[in-house]
Amino acid sequence: MIKNFLIISKDGVPLFSTDPNNCDVESDNTLIGCFLSAIQSFAKEVSNSGIDSIKMDSFTFFYSAKDPIFSIVAAEPSDDTDNRLYKITADRLSRSFLQKYSKNDIDIKKGELHSFSDFEEEYKKISQEIESLQKQGNKDFILNYFSKAADDENIRGIIIFDLKEDKIIASDIPPDISEKSFESFSSMLFSFIDRMGNELKAGKINEVLMRAEKHWIGGFRKGDMAVFTIFTHEFFGNIIPDFITSRVD
């Protein structure tokens, strides 16, 4: 269960906080922010690495460090799966915060909690998705992909699609990418490549890679599940020759 969520600047200034269960952990955001920021700075200085979590008596702080902020989830995990889930929550919330506010805005407005209060909508959306994920029967399968994607800066988003039920069961994508588009073409795409594999006598095709104008989209099928990953162009580089992709006059 999530007790509190807090976003602070690298120097410990609170930017956004929410307390879904009215717990005491939010009683002094500035004190908490300075403490957690100092712990991260100490770890960086001593071992040149950050801290993923801090276990207290009654709850655990889960960190996500993405310059220039720390995203922190205070929660009560019941097992290792919950540990992974809350770490992913912190990663998703920090990435969403940086997509909504520029580094310059954060630097200028830090300390003014009202300037970031409209992040509440993104927080609720991600929290609801996490709650839904906790109820999934294939939670370990999903968490495995989400945790790895969260650690890779080249991955812009990931979608898990149930080909049998024909629906998205989990997603983490930026706001400029439409989830409905994946709902529309996911089943059709794999039906098409199945037919192509049969026609070409190439066997079953389980992977597909597509280059869009702004990113790459990779689709991988595993049983009745399809995992779509959205990559930056820089991740793959220019693997297709320019004369193929250039416009014909």
Domains 2-134 and 139-236 share a fold: yes
Check: CB of residue 172 under 8 Å from CB of residue 149.
Answer: yes
Handedness of CA 103, 109, 113, 119 (dihedral sign): negative
Check: CB of residue 194 under 8 Å from CB of residue 185.
Answer: no
Give CA separation, 240 vs 26, 135, 155, 212, 243, in Å. 52, 41, 19, 12, 9
DSSP 34: H
**Predicted TM-score of the model (pTM):** 0.71
How far is it, in rounded angstroms, from Cα 201 to Cα 178? 34
Q: Tokens 């993405």 label which residue? A: 66
Q: State the pLDDT at residue 26.
A: 45
Q: State the pLDDT at residue 236.
A: 67
Sheet holding 60-66, edge to edge: 14-18, 2-9, 69-75, 60-66, 53-55
Beta partners for residue 36, in sequence order: none
Q: Which CATH class is domain 2-134?
A: alpha beta
Residues (pLDDT < 70) of the chain are 19-28, 137, 236-249
Q: Where are the domains of the chain?
A: 2-134, 139-236
Q: Which fold has domain 139-236?
A: Beta-Lactamase (3.30.450)
How far is it, in rounded angstroms, from Cα 71 to Cα 215? 26
How far is it, in rounded angstroms, from Cα 33 to Cα 107? 16
